[in-house]
Amino acid sequence: MKEKLFIIRLSIALIIFITGLIGILGIFYPLPIFNIQFTPLYQRVIIDFSIIALVLFTLFIIFTLLFGRIYCSLLCPMGIYQEIITLITKRDNEKQPNRAVKYFISAILFGVLTGGSTLLIKYIDPYTIFSSGITLTITGIITIVLIGILTIFKNRFFCTNICPVGCILGLISKISLFKMYIDKNECLSCSMCERNCPSGCIESDEQIIDNETCIKCFKCISNCPKEAIHYGIKPKEKIKYSPKRRELITTASALIVLGIAIKSGIELGKNIIKKTKEIILPPGSVDTERMYNKCLNCNLCIKACPNKILVKSNKEFEAVHIDYSKGENYCKYDCIECSKACPSGAIKKITLEEKQRTRIAMAVIDSEKCQNCRECINNCPVKAININEKGQIIINSSNCIGCGTCKKYCNNNAIEIFAINEQQRV
Amino acid sequence: MKRREFILSSLLAAGGTMILSGCNKKNIIKSEGEVVKRKFKDINVPLLGFGCMRLPMDGKNIDMIELEKMTEYAMMHGANYFDTAYMYVDEMSETAIGKVLKKYDRNSFILADKSPIYKMNSREDVRKIFDEQRKKCQVDYFDFYMCHNINLNTVDQYKNVKMVEELDKLKQEGKIKYFGFSFHGTPEILKDVVNDYDWDFAQLQVNYLDWDVVKAHEQYNIVQEKGIPVIVMEPLRGGGLVNLSEKAMAKLKESYPKSTPAEFGLRWAASQNNVITVLSGMSNLQQMKDNIATFENFQLMNDDEIKTADEIAKIIQSQGEINCTACKYCMEVCPKGINIPAIFSLYNQYKVTKSAFHLKIYYETLSETEKADKCIKCGLCTKNCPQNLQIPELLATVEKEYEKAKQG
């Protein structure tokens, strides 16, 4: 059984990975796996006060508290991607350092996120870069390739020493219930485990496994000739805990960095963008400022949109937005796919009824071009277009939600859809 | 512990407790004078009411220190009528007023609030928002409560939601003492609305300029015929009748050198016999002091003064200013966030001073998104405008004038 643990874990991970992959590509999405990723969930908890997100997030933490950072080898798409690379290259592993730099990286990234801006984390969070890479975004592809190269030479160095999510989960892993440990009575110090460990966290001479950087891949358990490595509740050893001076200084300065990062995140969120840009956003994303600061650019919504009007971040606006010149040219009235797909809360979870009452833009008719064909009146889903006493077609702006249907059906190009500053309830 | 130390510390403790308990006590109102009061049903209402739409501001937030000073001054002079509404000051007004009035005995002030028609999607909303307002104002009941801003666009919603029935229920429950409505529509709608219910009062826009401009006298007559008392809002047109143009000011000074424009306007409104109180949206303590002084030794206007008011109104009308009261109801809906009141105010100053230079400079101080050229002519603002201004067209006019000023 023990030898098979690695294979079982790997197969589950691969199944999850493949389902996730076809999910991102918009082919078939049976499991909303990307709704249980760390960073998006965390953001949903702090900006949306969503109960579902809070429950999922708490479960996530409890899961890690029980089993350690098994997320990294089971759920994280970036982790499994790296694992696949190592399976192909099959290099020998070496001991990896556990440097304190990652605490500062993590403090900065999550501090800024907590302050209210995804500006930094969207280029490094494992889930985000993976999904933006898969959906062919240049920054995502570059980061994925870089990490791929890093993996070939340094194995899971990204996970153990760079990844901000891994850093936090590692800290939780330190006190998790289930741990990896070596049974000192059985161990021969043959270093089989050390050579096979992808995260380089085993010291077979001293029979120590560093549970902070261990990603619980179970490779060592399967490889140990004496079955000396166990995964479970570690028998208590009497060690008097005395924090070293260096640890204390690191902790204190990381906390200070975290505080500064939160503050600068708040400032960044406020000042980074002025609302001058004429950008239409998917219903539920409120305004350009919020969208810019909350969107992780994972592009799940783009794949979900049946009308294909959502576009990736580009020069115009560095987050997902609507471009009515693309796809079907209008936003479907009875559809909230983008809101359902968004894992990070950038597009709020709205009900269909709310969506149908959310104004995302504003249609205006140019009465000189209008030839009174009445196609718009027949097609307007909210019945906002009428004929006035003079026989002219007019838009009742109080009802217009800016879905763009009228523009699509207009034969004379007389209707223009204008972006608005902030989405409103009609 | 020595005896001396014991006595000392127990004295300190007792003193501390006394100070703390003193903090909780309701403010005692010392009377320093009394504004004129008028009898309404079974209470006395001060002729000057504190309108809470233009509260003192400190950046983006309400300046609570100044507001507290103003409230204290008003209470000391018997001006204990406070008029707030859901949407005032970005929905912050009710909370601020609640905080300030908490320190006074509930019987010592009269609080008026309004039900935002545009927020109502169903009958349940009426009660939901009412309870929210009570919470924000920290009171159990409202003395005066109104359907807010019935006009051409809200009248349908006001009928569909059956606000009157629901609010009547609340009145029966004792949570509303007097039930009325505030109105910004046409006389035709008003004729209809006055028959909807046995209204206790009506809140109308009455001042010497609007008496003809928005047919205020017709509205006033309709209400008076029904025997409904009137509360006056916008007696100074949002400050428009305070900052008179040179010509109008000269006319006032020529006839009544001692009068100030504010006093003149307030007295004009208060001189209508069917009026319970005149609301003035005061933004600092000085305005409060001036207005209270006006009403402490209040005298009805005589015929000559009323004639002068008519003449001033004609002068103002001839200047081609825009009749904007800066109520900012348009800003609530403008999808582009154009600063319509600021633009109109600049334009009005330009019309009076004819200084293209100043128009150019001040217009540039508006941020890029607030300018008139961002208008997409969707017309949402027009529907919300209590003065029925054709805002998109006016904005285009201002834009044209500005372009001219830029070149010239």
Predicted pLDDT at B21: 59
Yes or no: say if B35 and B278 are a contact pair by the CB < 8 Å rule: no
Q: What is the mean pLDDT of chain B?
A: 87
Series of mean pLDDT values for 10-residue runs along chain A (426 residues): 82 88 73 77 86 90 92 90 87 76 92 88 89 86 92 88 92 90 86 86 86 89 87 76 81 92 87 71 90 88 90 87 91 91 89 92 90 89 88 86 92 90 85
* Residue A397 three-state SS: coil
Virtual CA dihedral for B41, B43, B47, B49, nearest 10 degrees? -110
Q: Which of these, B112, B118, B181, lies nearest to B153 by C-alpha position?
A: B118
Q: Which residues on B lie below 8 Å from A424 (Cβ)?
A: 333, 335
* Residue B119 three-state SS: helix
CB nearest A362 (choices: B153, B368, B376): B376
- Please, what is the angle between helix B391-407 and helix B340-353, to 10°? 50
Distance of alpha carbon B333 from alpha carbon B353, whole angstroms = 31
Q: Which residues on B lie below 8 Å from A418 (Cβ)?
A: 335-336, 376, 378
Domain count, chain B: 2
Q: What is the CATH number of the domain that holds A314?
A: 3.30.70.20
* Shortest Cα–Cα distance, A313 to chain B (Å): 23
Distance of alpha carbon A42 from alpha carbon A36, whole angstroms = 10
Q: Which of B336, B366, B371, B383 has the highest number of chain A CBs within 10 A, making it the mutation to test binding with A?
A: B336
Tell me the two tokens of residue B357.
């230079």
Q: Which residues on A lie below 8 Å from B383 (Cβ)?
A: 397-398
* Shortest Cα–Cα distance, B378 to chain A (Å): 6
Give the residue carrying structure tokens 């937030």: B61
- What is the band of B337 on the pLDDT scale with cuts at 50, 70, 90? confident
Using CA coordinates, name the residue in chain A closest to B338.
A421
Tell me the whole-structure pTM to 2 decimals: 0.73
Query: Does A256 map to a domain?
Result: no
Distance of alpha carbon A175 from alpha carbon A178, whole angstroms = 9
Q: Which residues on B lie below 8 Å from A398 (Cβ)?
A: 153, 380, 383
Predicted pLDDT at B214: 67
* Subunit contact A421:B379, Cβ cutoff 8 A: no
Q: Which of B293, B318, B343 is the last residue of a domain?
A: B318
Q: Which of B376, B383, B391 has the highest number of chain A CBs within 10 A, making it the mutation to test binding with A?
A: B376
Domain that holds residue B253: 37-318
CB nearest A364 (choices: B368, B376, B383): B376
Q: Do A101 and A27 share a structural domain? A: yes
Q: Do B174 and B101 share a structural domain? A: yes
Pairs across A and B, CB distance < 8 A: 36
* Shortest Cα–Cα distance, A368 to chain B (Å): 14
Q: Do B169 and B98 share a structural domain? A: yes
* Shortest Cα–Cα distance, B379 to chain A (Å): 7
Distance of alpha carbon A314 from alpha carbon A184, whole angstroms = 56
* Shortest Cα–Cα distance, A353 to chain B (Å): 13
Q: Which residues on A lie below 8 Å from B368 (Cβ)?
A: 274, 276
Q: What is the pLDDT of residues B271-282, one digit of tens each?
A: 988 999 999 989
Residues 186-215 of B with CB under 8 A from A: none
Q: What is the pLDDT of residues B10-30, one digit of tens each?
A: 888 777 777 665 555 566 677
Domain that holds residue A299: 288-425
Q: Do A326 and A206 share a structural domain? A: no
Yes or no: say if B292 and B217 are a contact pair by the CB < 8 Å rule: no
Exposed/middle/buried for residue B377 (C-beta within 10 Å: 0-12, 13-18, 19+)? middle
Give the residue carrying structure tokens 């280029």: A123
Q: Do B401 and B252 share a structural domain? A: no
Q: Give the DSSP H or E segment for B230.
A: strand B230-233
Yes or no: say if A377 and A240 are a contact pair by the CB < 8 Å rule: no
Q: Which of A218, A233, A248 is the last residue of a domain?
A: A233
Is the pLDDT confidence value at B359 over 90? no
* Subunit contact A420:B153, Cβ cutoff 8 A: no
Q: Nearest 5°: phi and psi at A367?
A: -65, -20
For A173, A175, B17, the CA distances from B212, given in Å and listed in that order, are 77, 79, 61
Predicted pLDDT at B22: 53
- What is the band of B82 on the pLDDT scale with cuts at 50, 70, 90? very high
Q: Which of B299, B318, B337 is the last residue of a domain?
A: B318
* Shortest Cα–Cα distance, A422 to chain B (Å): 7
Query: Does A188 map to a domain?
Result: yes
Q: Do B246 and B378 share a structural domain? A: no
Query: Does B188 map to a domain?
Result: yes
**Of B4-18, B286-300, B367-381, where does mean pLDDT reach its minimum?**
B4-18
Distance of alpha carbon A101 from alpha carbon A77, whole angstroms = 24
CB nearest A421 (choices: B335, B378, B383): B335
In chain B, % of residues over pLDDT 70: 96
* Shortest Cα–Cα distance, B338 to chain A (Å): 10
Q: Which of A386, A392, A420, A423 has the highest number of chain B CBs within 10 A, making it the mutation to test binding with B?
A: A420
Q: Nearest 5°: phi and psi at B197?
A: -160, 165
Predicted pLDDT at B20: 64
Tell me the two tokens of residue B289.
């002091």
Distance of alpha carbon B46 from alpha carbon B356, whole angstroms = 44
Q: Which residues on B lie below 8 Å from A400 (Cβ)?
A: 378
Residues 358-377 of B with CB under 8 A from A: 368-369, 376-377
Predicted pLDDT at A167: 93
Give the residue carrying structure tokens 């016999």: B273
Single-letter amino acid code for the residue at B116: P
Distance of alpha carbon B275 from alpha carbon B272, whole angstroms = 6
Q: Do A297 and A163 share a structural domain? A: no
Q: Which residues on B lie below 8 Å from A276 (Cβ)?
A: 368-369
Query: Does B51 map to a domain?
Result: yes
Cα distance between the two ends of chain B = 87
Single-letter amino acid code for the residue at A391: G
* Shortest Cα–Cα distance, A257 to chain B (Å): 30
Q: What is the CATH number of the domain that holds B152?
A: 3.20.20.100
- What mean pLDDT do residues B110-137 have? 90
Q: Which of B318, B347, B369 is the last residue of a domain?
A: B318
Q: Which residues on B lie below 8 Å from A397 (Cβ)?
A: 378-380, 383
Q: Do A158 and A43 share a structural domain? A: yes
Predicted pLDDT at A21: 82
Predicted pLDDT at A299: 87
Residue B250 contacts A where some CB pair is shorter than 8 Å: no
Q: Do A122 and A53 share a structural domain? A: yes
Q: Do A307 and A227 share a structural domain? A: no
Query: Does B25 map to a domain?
Result: no
What's the angle, vertex CA A184, arms to CA A179 and CA A190, rounded to 5? 100
Q: Do B312 and B336 share a structural domain? A: no
* Subunit contact A359:B335, Cβ cutoff 8 A: yes
Domain count, chain A: 2
Distance of alpha carbon A359 from alpha carbon A426, whole angstroms = 6
Distance of alpha carbon B140 from alpha carbon B131, whole angstroms = 9
Predicted pLDDT at A276: 54
DSSP B141-195: -EEEEEEEEE-TTTHHHHHHTTHHHHHHHHHHTTSEEEEEEEE-S-HHHHHHHTT
Q: Do B368 and B271 share a structural domain? A: no
Exposed/middle/buried for residue A176 (C-beta within 10 Å: 0-12, 13-18, 19+)? buried
- What is the band of B340 on the pLDDT scale with cuts at 50, 70, 90? very high
- Count of beta carbons in the 10 Å neighbourhood of residue A389: 5
Yes or no: say if B405 and B353 are a contact pair by the CB < 8 Å rule: no
* Residue A414 three-state SS: coil
Using CA coordinates, name the residue in chain A closest to B370.
A276
Query: Does B31 map to a domain?
Result: no
Q: Which of these, B150, B156, B163, B153, lies nearest to B123 by C-alpha position?
A: B163
- Count of beta carbons in the 10 Å neighbourhood of residue B126: 24
Predicted pLDDT at B245: 80
Buried b (16+ CB within 10 A) or exposed e, A85-124: bbeeeeeebeebeeeeebbbbbbbbbbbbbbbbbbbbbbb
Query: Does B9 map to a domain?
Result: no
- Please, what is the angle between helix B340-353 and helix B356-365, to 10°? 160
Residue B383 contacts A where some CB pair is shorter than 8 Å: yes
Q: Do A182 and A293 share a structural domain? A: no
Strands B230-233 and A415-425: unpaired
Q: Do B144 and B233 share a structural domain? A: yes
Q: Do B165 and B82 share a structural domain? A: yes
Predicted pLDDT at A4: 83
Q: Which of B153, B339, B378, B383 has the highest number of chain A CBs within 10 A, making it the mutation to test binding with A?
A: B378
Q: What is the pLDDT of residues B147-202, one digit of tens each?
A: 998 887 788 888 888 899 999 999 999 999 999 999 988 888 899 999 989 999 99
Distance of alpha carbon A344 from alpha carbon A346, whole angstroms = 5
Yes or no: say if A87 and A198 are a contact pair by the CB < 8 Å rule: no
* Subunit contact A397:B383, Cβ cutoff 8 A: yes
Q: Do B374 and B300 share a structural domain? A: no
Q: Which residues on A lie below 8 Å from B153 (Cβ)?
A: 398
Predicted pLDDT at B23: 54
For A41, A167, A199, the CA distances from A85, given in Å and listed in that order, are 27, 22, 14
Using CA coordinates, name the residue in chain A closest to B154.
A398
Q: Give the DSSP H or E segment for A115.
A: helix A101-115
Strands A393-395 and A385-387: antiparallel
- Please, what is the angle between helix A101-115 and helix A38-48, to 10°? 40
* Shortest Cα–Cα distance, A276 to chain B (Å): 6
Q: Give the DSSP H or E segment for B22.
A: helix B3-24
Yes or no: say if B343 and B364 are a contact pair by the CB < 8 Å rule: no
Q: Do B70 and B100 share a structural domain? A: yes
Q: Do B303 and B276 share a structural domain? A: yes
Give the residue carrying structure tokens 């006093």: B263
Q: Which residues on B lie below 8 Å from A421 (Cβ)?
A: 335-337, 369
* Subunit contact B378:A424, Cβ cutoff 8 A: no
Q: Nearest 5°: phi and psi at A281?
A: -115, 155
Q: Do B396 and B342 share a structural domain? A: yes
Virtual CA dihedral for B357, B360, B361, B364, nearest 10 degrees? -170
